[in-house]
């Protein structure tokens, strides 16, 4: 009778609430006085937003509710990233296709089967059925009330509890197995839109989302997972409606180890690291680049970010200049740097005069915004504009003629700068490339997988550029100038606000970004403090404006389904 | 478990939670005893699309002769052996009505949905989904989407409102989905309804019961998304119900061997060709075994990321950057990729043709629409996007023709295939893409 977290039940009569609390709240004492959470007669209110759980949120939820040893196998319907937006805002528009549903159904059944197998069931059941070969309404009721609280992130209504108890009874009868009945009920919960979507509902006052929705919004923002028992308890007591109660929860959550999951999730979305999974390189040109290296690059970026903004709590702009990162053996080979540890990651500090520094020097950024067989100053420059500065770049006209731009084996035009300069002599092309290339060309001393090089095809690389009127040479200098600029911090503020609400900028409460930006600056541009400020501001819980959808700017970019490359 | 009569199945072992499946659905599939395909039942007609990215070099692809016995230019050479099974459609336009041409998106989406899009998301249902609504409800899978480049979002199939049917990306996963534990061999002598499937159905029925309560609480915009969820749920539920019935024996159905280990996940053309070949085989078997009647197979993606091993430049980059060779009059590297795409289509047609079915082949009982998303990729042109038809749809269409569209809307093809597949539709498409003129030359 071992629990997923290696704890053992010590007393047979232990309240299930306590068992689950021990699973969910790592540092929380068992809350003996939490009876208010297991029953609700109230029907939830009007649904004001439906945000589909991302793959990471789904996985975190299952691990937090049922334990990390419950396997989640299956393919997730991709959530489409809207042009120039976050996946988090795409989730608020996302649908589920028939093929995607089939996958969710499979996952739900395999999870439910594991939760109720002989090894695990005792962990989640405080009661035992009178007869294991028959339905037992009382025991099933206790199970669904408790599990449902976490799966639906709110107490089930009395009608819902009756419903699932009924499903379990009908399942137990023909199978002659009480636990099979529970399994069917749980599988049905896990494939319900109430689990697969973060359903945000309006409070009775009609001005804010209700307490349960607030709890979910907080936990998905800070932990990228479902609320734990203390947070749900706070919600049930109305604590999240008071400044003091809210602050206590936000502080507790930011101090929890689970806050790292939240930081990882935001920066994965913000920096487009989701695409690293699809990243492939031509193995003839880059013979050391494998899917394992791609995964390592993403991890290297996230380790660097987490250490900088969470562990060290350093200003966000310094993420553009930091020399500190992490390496493992495999990346050491690609970047020709010795790594002492045979297994795992070790901190690594680059020399102060190194060309490589900060986000712009991270292999994940450099490789992601390159072609399969070569670097791309255009893709990199565009990513700096669009991803890091939130400045959408106009797209090339559909009938653009690239014939002036030649292949990499050209004997005269050896470097990308030479080829692009040639290309830029056409005024139509130049109008776009003037925006992107001067920010991408300074990164040219890093090849298509981010390895350092001094020459391309034997010719020395000119890495000079200009940013906001200042000229410079090399990637590290560009990082230094970006750290001085308001562009990256304004962009981050906007993205955190959008991420936290699932709303695009045009739908955010008026004046909120300005207030957040001022606070961010006043606090020395600390990411952690920015998240805290978002979570504590009244706008965070405001109901989305009920208005006609704003006309969106005609999207010219070939960015989604059919297009994997842009020039 | 005792053999269940049809009545007990419909009542359901988990009756209270079950939502009954519409009886007519089963009636058309079975004889009076619910045991076998009704005697003399026609072989089903299947429908599918086959997509390739980045178009063609028109002068090297488009036949000069219109009608039967068309000539075969260089880029069409790979399909010459199947010429009498394939119809070439040239000169059909995607008309944008002044909307911007979204490179690599407007063309394919316009052909498939009848609407010139304003963003890369599908603005309306694709015609394969409309056809699946008509003929896909009687098989285990309503439709199958497959991407040989191993990219799940490489799909032009969806119900609109931004929804996309993601593609299956690996031969192994496709095999497991089709022929894994839940596959019921139609030619197996003994059949027992799988209790697991009954349980699955009851799980879904329970969720379906929440529909009303949830719909009462959402706004109009979210209701559409909720509807899509419940549509997906109901489809799965109906398909499970079908699996509780003994399938009719099928002559051409054989369980294929599990495919070998998959190729690495990259866009190297040799790997994509290999994937495509394996997945085409599995798909053909799925059709022969009546697991689905609708499919969407994508050879490469719109802005084709295909590369040759060791090359620093992709198919997409080549189409833009490669000079038109002054002597040859075309882009020699780019045309190489077009020829590989046409070769792959030849492989696909050949694969369907290998399965004997009734007096003909699986290909004869299938209608395949092949198309790209652009004509000349260098300029992203959407006029005269190359399209082809293969298979005879059970004798409902004529093949071996070259039809010149004369700059009429490409939606005429979508309208035609919907009509051929039995949809009661007399006009289709929006704005300049609206048409009420099917391509009568090919209709029998």
**Partners of B435 in the beta sheet?**
B428
Best of A46, A50, A80, A95 to substitute, by most chain B Cβ atoms within 10 angstroms, is A95
Cβ(A444)–Cβ(A415) below 8 Å: yes
Cβ(A325)–Cβ(A308) below 8 Å: no
**What residues contact B300, with CB distance under 8 A and at least 6 apart?**
B52, B53, B54, B148, B149, B267, B272, B306, B315, B341
Q: Would you call A395 and B264 a contact, using CB atoms and an 8 Å cutoff?
A: no
As given in the structure block, the two tokens for residue A549 are: 């959808």
Domain contains B143: yes
Q: Would you call A561 and B302 a contact, using CB atoms and an 8 Å cutoff?
A: yes
As given in the structure block, the two tokens for residue B149 are: 């480049």
Is the predicted pLDDT of residue A316 greater than 90, yes or no?
Answer: yes
As given in the structure block, the two tokens for residue A8 are: 């053992």
φ and ψ of B281, to 5 deg: -60, -45
Best of A98, A156, A167, A447 to substitute, by most chain B Cβ atoms within 10 angstroms, is A98
**What residues contact B157, with CB distance under 8 A and at least 6 apart?**
B49, B112, B126, B128, B129, B143, B145, B164, B165, B296
- Predicted local distance difference test score (pLDDT) of residue A397: 66
Q: How far apart are CA A167 and CA A157, in angstroms?
A: 15
- Predicted local distance difference test score (pLDDT) of residue A65: 95
Among candidates A78, A164, A201 on the partner chain, residue whose Cβ is nearest the Cβ of B166: A78
Is B295 found in the same domain as B366? yes
- Predicted local distance difference test score (pLDDT) of residue B239: 82
Q: How far apart are CA A514 and CA B411, in angstroms?
A: 48
Is the predicted pLDDT of residue B9 greater than 70, yes or no?
Answer: no
A55-59, A217-221, B176-180, B219-223: range with lowest mean pLDDT = B219-223
**What residues contact A551, with CB distance under 8 A and at least 6 apart?**
none
**What residues contact A353, with CB distance under 8 A and at least 6 apart?**
none
φ and ψ of B277, to 5 deg: -65, -45
What SS3 class is residue A529? helix
A311-318: which pairs have CB atoms within 8 A and are 24 or more residues apart? Answer: A313/A526, A313/A528, A314/A526, A315/A524, A315/A525, A315/A526, A316/A488, A316/A489, A316/A492, A316/A525, A316/A526, A316/A527, A316/A530, A317/A482, A317/A483, A317/A484, A317/A488, A317/A489, A317/A525, A318/A358, A318/A483
The pairing of strands B46-51 and B366-371 is parallel
Q: Would you call A167 and B202 a contact, using CB atoms and an 8 Å cutoff?
A: yes
Domain contains B35: no
Helix H or strand E segment including B112? helix B106-113
Task: Check which CATH number belongs to the domain holding B407 and give it.
Answer: 3.40.720
332-371 in B: which are within 8 Å (CB) of A?
Answer: none
Q: How far apart are CA B112 and CA A532, in angstroms?
A: 47
Q: How far apart are CA B145 and CA A148, in angstroms?
A: 34
Is the predicted pLDDT of residue A30 greater than 80, yes or no?
Answer: no
Cβ(A525)–Cβ(A315) below 8 Å: yes
Q: How far apart are CA A271 and CA A281, in angstroms?
A: 19
Among candidates B202, B236, B305 on the partner chain, residue whose Cβ is nearest the Cβ of A101: B236
Is the predicted pLDDT of residue B32 greater than 50, yes or no?
Answer: no
Domain contains B376: yes
Is B216 found in the same domain as B104? no
**What residues contact A331, with CB distance under 8 A and at least 6 apart?**
A293, A296, A297, A300, A337, A339, A363
Residues B182-235 have pLDDT tens digits of 888 888 888 888 887 888 888 898 899 889 999 999 988 899 899 989 988 998
Is B312 found in the same domain as B263? yes
**What residues contact B32, with CB distance under 8 A and at least 6 apart?**
none
User: For residue B27, what pLDDT band results from cuts at 50, 70 and 90?
Assistant: very low
Is the predicted pLDDT of residue B18 greater than 50, yes or no?
Answer: no
C-alpha separations of A200 from A95, A192, A541 in Å:
16, 15, 10
The larger pLDDT score, comparing residue B296 to residue A283, is at B296
What SS3 class is residue A335? coil
Residues B96-143 have pLDDT tens digits of 988 888 888 999 999 999 999 988 889 999 999 999 999 998 889 999
Is B98 found in the same domain as B12? no
Cβ(A19)–Cβ(A229) below 8 Å: no
Q: How far apart are CA B353 and CA B362, in angstroms?
A: 6
Is B155 found in the same domain as B231? no
Q: Would you call A558 and B156 a contact, using CB atoms and an 8 Å cutoff?
A: no
Which has the closest alpha carbon to A520: A511, A532, A504? A532
The larger pLDDT score, comparing residue B151 to residue A442, is at A442
CA distance B222 to chain A (A): 7
- Predicted local distance difference test score (pLDDT) of residue A411: 62
Cβ(A373)–Cβ(B307) below 8 Å: yes
B63-77, B91-105, B424-438: range with lowest mean pLDDT = B91-105
A354-358, A420-424, B418-422: range with lowest mean pLDDT = A420-424
What SS3 class is residue B207? helix
B-chain residues near A102 (CB < 8 A)? 236
- Predicted local distance difference test score (pLDDT) of residue A406: 41
Q: How far apart are CA B355 and CA B425, in angstroms?
A: 32
- Predicted local distance difference test score (pLDDT) of residue B251: 79
Instruction: Return the axis-axis angle of helices B195-208 and B220-242, rounded to nearest 10°.
Output: 160
74-103 in B: which are within 8 Å (CB) of A?
Answer: 99-103
**What residues contact A378, with CB distance under 8 A and at least 6 apart?**
A420, A433, A436, A437, A440, A566, A567
- Predicted local distance difference test score (pLDDT) of residue A156: 94
Is the predicted pLDDT of residue A25 greater than 50, yes or no?
Answer: no
Is the predicted pLDDT of residue A403 greater than 60, yes or no?
Answer: no
User: For residue A423, what pLDDT band results from cuts at 50, 70 and 90?
Assistant: low
CB atoms within 10 A of CB A206: 9
Residues A470-514 have pLDDT tens digits of 999 999 999 999 999 999 999 999 999 999 999 999 999 999 999
Is B198 found in the same domain as B176? no
User: For residue A398, what pLDDT band results from cuts at 50, 70 and 90?
Assistant: low
Cβ(B202)–Cβ(A105) below 8 Å: no
Is the predicted pLDDT of residue B4 greater than 60, yes or no?
Answer: no
Domain contains B294: yes
Total domains in chain B come to 2
Cβ(B45)–Cβ(B367) below 8 Å: yes
Cβ(A452)–Cβ(A356) below 8 Å: yes
- Predicted local distance difference test score (pLDDT) of residue A399: 60
Mean pLDDT, chain B, integer: 86
Domain contains B63: yes
Over residues A376-403, mean pLDDT: 83
Q: Would you call A108 and B156 a contact, using CB atoms and an 8 Å cutoff?
A: no
Is B328 found in the same domain as B272? yes
Is B279 found in the same domain as B226? no
Q: How far apart are CA A276 and CA A284, in angstroms?
A: 19
B245 Rama sector, left if φ>0, alpha if ψ -120 to 50, beta otherwise: beta
Residue B344, domain extent: 42-182+250-442
Is B169 found in the same domain as B204? no
- Among B230, B245, B260, the domain boundary falls at B245
| Rounded (to 5) percent helix, strand, coil in chain A | 50, 10, 40
Is the predicted pLDDT of residue B357 greater than 90, yes or no?
Answer: no
Among candidates B14, B104, B163 on the partner chain, residue whose Cβ is nearest the Cβ of A170: B14
Domain contains B37: no
- Predicted local distance difference test score (pLDDT) of residue B407: 94
Q: Would you call B156 and A561 a contact, using CB atoms and an 8 Å cutoff?
A: yes
Q: How far apart are CA A97 and CA B144, in angstroms?
A: 12
Euclidean distance between the first and the last CA atom of chain B, given in angstroms as a whole number: 50
- Among B245, B267, B288, the domain boundary falls at B245
Is B405 found in the same domain as B302? yes
- Predicted local distance difference test score (pLDDT) of residue B7: 30
Q: How far apart are CA A113 and CA A196, in angstroms?
A: 18
B20 Rama sector, left if φ>0, alpha if ψ -120 to 50, beta otherwise: beta
B121 touches chain A (CB under 8 A): yes
As given in the structure block, the two tokens for residue A166 are: 């009924």
Residues A139-183 have pLDDT tens digits of 999 999 999 999 999 999 999 999 999 999 999 988 899 999 999
Over residues B324-347, mean pLDDT: 93
Which residue stretches of A118-237 are H helix? 121-124, 137-151, 158-175, 178-190, 193-196, 211-222, 229-237
User: For residue A334, what pLDDT band results from cuts at 50, 70 and 90?
Assistant: confident
pLDDT above 90: percentage of residues in chain A: 66
A126-130, A356-360, B10-14: range with lowest mean pLDDT = B10-14
- Predicted local distance difference test score (pLDDT) of residue A41: 54
Which has the closest alpha carbon to A482: A266, A335, A315, A252? A315
Over residues B4-27, mean pLDDT: 29
Is the predicted pLDDT of residue A19 greater than 50, yes or no?
Answer: no
Which has the closest alpha carbon to B296: B105, B23, B50, B10? B50
Cβ(B68)–Cβ(B317) below 8 Å: no
Angle at A258 between CA A212 and CA A271, to 5 degrees: 95
Is B414 found in the same domain as B350? yes
**Partners of A35 in the beta sheet?**
none
Cβ(B441)–Cβ(B412) below 8 Å: no
Which has the closest alpha carbon to A534: A566, A567, A492, A480? A492
pLDDT above 90: percentage of residues in chain B: 57
- Predicted local distance difference test score (pLDDT) of residue B428: 97
pTM: 0.80
Q: What is the DSSP letter of A493?
A: H
As given in the structure block, the two tokens for residue B351 are: 């694969």
Cβ(B140)–Cβ(B228) below 8 Å: no
Is B231 found in the same domain as B110? no
């Amino acid at each position: 009778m071992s629990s997923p977290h290696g704890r053992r039940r010590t007393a047979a009569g232990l309240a299930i609430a306590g068992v689950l609390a021990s699973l969910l709240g790592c540092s929380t004492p068992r809350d003996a006085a939490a009876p208010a959470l297991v029953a609700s007669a109230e029907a939830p209110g009007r649904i004001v937003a439906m945000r589909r759980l991302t793959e990471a949120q789904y996985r975190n939820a299952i691990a937090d509710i049922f334990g990390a040893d419950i396997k989640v196998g299956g393919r997730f319907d991709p959530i489409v990233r809207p042009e120039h937006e976050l996946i988090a805002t795409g989730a608020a528009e996302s649908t589920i296709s028939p093929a995607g549903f089939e996958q969710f159904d499979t996952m739900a059944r395999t999870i439910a089967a594991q939760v109720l197998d002989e090894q695990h069931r005792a962990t989640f059941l405080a009661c035992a059925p009178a007869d294991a070969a028959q339905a037992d309404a009382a025991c099933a009721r206790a199970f669904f009330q408790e599990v449902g609280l976490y799966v639906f992130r709110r107490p089930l209504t009395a009608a819902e509890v009756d419903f699932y108890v009924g499903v379990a009874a009908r399942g137990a009868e023909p199978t002659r197995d009480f636990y099979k009945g529970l399994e069917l009920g749980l599988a049905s919960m896990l494939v319900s839109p109430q689990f697969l979507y973060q359903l945000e509902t309006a409070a009775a006052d009609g001005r804010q989302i209700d307490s349960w929705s607030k709890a979910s919004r907080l936990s998905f923002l800070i932990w990228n997972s479902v609320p734990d028992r203390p947070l749900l308890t706070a919600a049930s007591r109305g604590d999240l409606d008071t400044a003091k109660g809210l602050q206590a929860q936000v502080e507790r959550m930011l101090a929890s180890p689970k806050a790292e999951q939240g930081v990882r999730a935001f920066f994965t979305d913000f920096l487009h690291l989701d695409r690293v999974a699809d990243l492939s390189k031509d193995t003839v040109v880059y013979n050391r680049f494998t899917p394992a290296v791609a995964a390592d690059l993403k991890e290297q970026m996230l380790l660097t970010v987490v250490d900088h903004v969470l562990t060290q709590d350093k200003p966000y702009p310094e993420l553009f200049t930091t020399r500190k990162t992490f390496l493992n053996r495999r990346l050491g080979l690609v970047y020709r740097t010795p790594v002492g540890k045979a297994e795992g990651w070790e901190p690594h500090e680059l020399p102060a005069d190194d060309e490589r520094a900060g986000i712009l020097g991270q292999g994940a950024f450099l490789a992601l915004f390159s072609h399969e067989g070569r670097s791309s100053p255009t893709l990199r420059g565009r990513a700096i504009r669009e991803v890091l500065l939130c400045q959408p770049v106009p797209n090339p006209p559909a009938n653009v003629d690239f014939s002036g731009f030649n292949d990499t084996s050209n004997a005269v035009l050896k470097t990308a700068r030479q080829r692009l300069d040639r290309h830029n002599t056409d005024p139509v092309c130049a109008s776009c490339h003037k925006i992107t290339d001067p920010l991408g060309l300074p990164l040219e001393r890093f090849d298509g997988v981010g390895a350092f090089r001094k020459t391309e095809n034997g010719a020395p690389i000119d890495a000079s550029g200009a940013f906001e009127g200042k000229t410079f040479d090399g990637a590290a200098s560009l990082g230094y100038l970006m750290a001085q600029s308001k562009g990256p911090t304004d962009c981050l503020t906007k993205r955190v606000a959008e991420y936290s609400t699932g709303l695009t900028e045009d739908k955010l409460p008026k004046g909120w970004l300005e207030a957040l930006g001022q606070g961010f600056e006043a606090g020395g541009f600390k990411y952690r403090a920015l998240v805290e400020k978002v979570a504590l501001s009244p706008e965070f819980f405001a109901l989305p404006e009920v208005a006609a959808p704003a006309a969106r700017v005609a999207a010219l970019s070939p960015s989604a389904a059919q297009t994997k490359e842009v020039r | 478990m005792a053999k269940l009569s049809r009545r007990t199945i419909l009542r359901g072992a988990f009756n209270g939670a079950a939502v009954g499946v519409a009886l007519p659905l089963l009636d058309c599939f079975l004889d009076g005893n619910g045991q076998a395909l009704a005697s003399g039942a026609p072989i089903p007609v299947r429908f599918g699309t086959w997509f390739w990215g980045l178009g063609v070099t028109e002068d090297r692809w488009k036949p000069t002769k219109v009608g039967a016995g068309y000539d075969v230019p260089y880029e069409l050479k790979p399909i010459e052996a199947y010429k009498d099974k394939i119809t070439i459609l040239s000169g059909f336009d995607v008309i944008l009505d002044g909307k911007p041409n979204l490179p690599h998106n407007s063309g394919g989406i316009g052909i498939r949905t009848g609407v010139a899009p304003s963003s890369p998301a599908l603005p309306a249902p694709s015609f394969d989904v409309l056809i699946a609504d008509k003929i896909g409800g009687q098989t285990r899978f309503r439709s199958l989407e497959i991407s040989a480049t191993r990219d799940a979002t490489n799909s032009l199939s969806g119900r609109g409102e931004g929804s996309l049917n993601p593609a299956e990306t690996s031969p192994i996963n496709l095999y497991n989905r089709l022929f894994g534990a839940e596959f019921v061999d139609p030619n197996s002598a003994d059949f027992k309804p799988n209790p697991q499937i009954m349980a699955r159905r009851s799980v879904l029925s329970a969720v379906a019961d929440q529909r009303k309560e949830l719909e009462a609480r959402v706004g109009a915009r979210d209701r559409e998304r909720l509807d899509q969820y419940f549509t997906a749920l109901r489809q799965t539920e109906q398909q499970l119900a079908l699996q509780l019935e003994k399938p009719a024996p099928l002559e051409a159905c054989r369980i294929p061997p599990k495919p070998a280990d998959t190729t690495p996940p990259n866009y190297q053309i040799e790997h994509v060709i290999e994937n495509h070949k394996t997945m085409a085989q599995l798909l053909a078997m799925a059709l022969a075994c009546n697991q689905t009647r609708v499919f969407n197979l994508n050879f490469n993606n719109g802005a084709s990321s295909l590369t040759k091993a060791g090359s620093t430049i992709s198919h997409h980059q080549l189409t833009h950057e490669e000079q038109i060779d002054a002597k040859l009059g075309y882009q020699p590297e780019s045309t190489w990729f077009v020829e590989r795409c046409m070769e792959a289509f030849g492989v696909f047609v050949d694969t369907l043709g290998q399965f004997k079915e009734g007096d003909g082949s699986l290909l004869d009982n299938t209608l395949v629409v092949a198309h790209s998303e652009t004509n000349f990729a260098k300029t992203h042109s959407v006029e005269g996007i190359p399209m082809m038809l293969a298979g005879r749809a059970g004798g409902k269409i004529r093949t071996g023709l070259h039809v010149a569209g004369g700059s009429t809307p490409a939606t005429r093809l979508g309208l035609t295939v919907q009509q051929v597949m039995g949809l009661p539709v007399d006009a289709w498409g929006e704005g300049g893409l609206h048409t009420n003129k099917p391509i009568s030359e090919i209709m029998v």
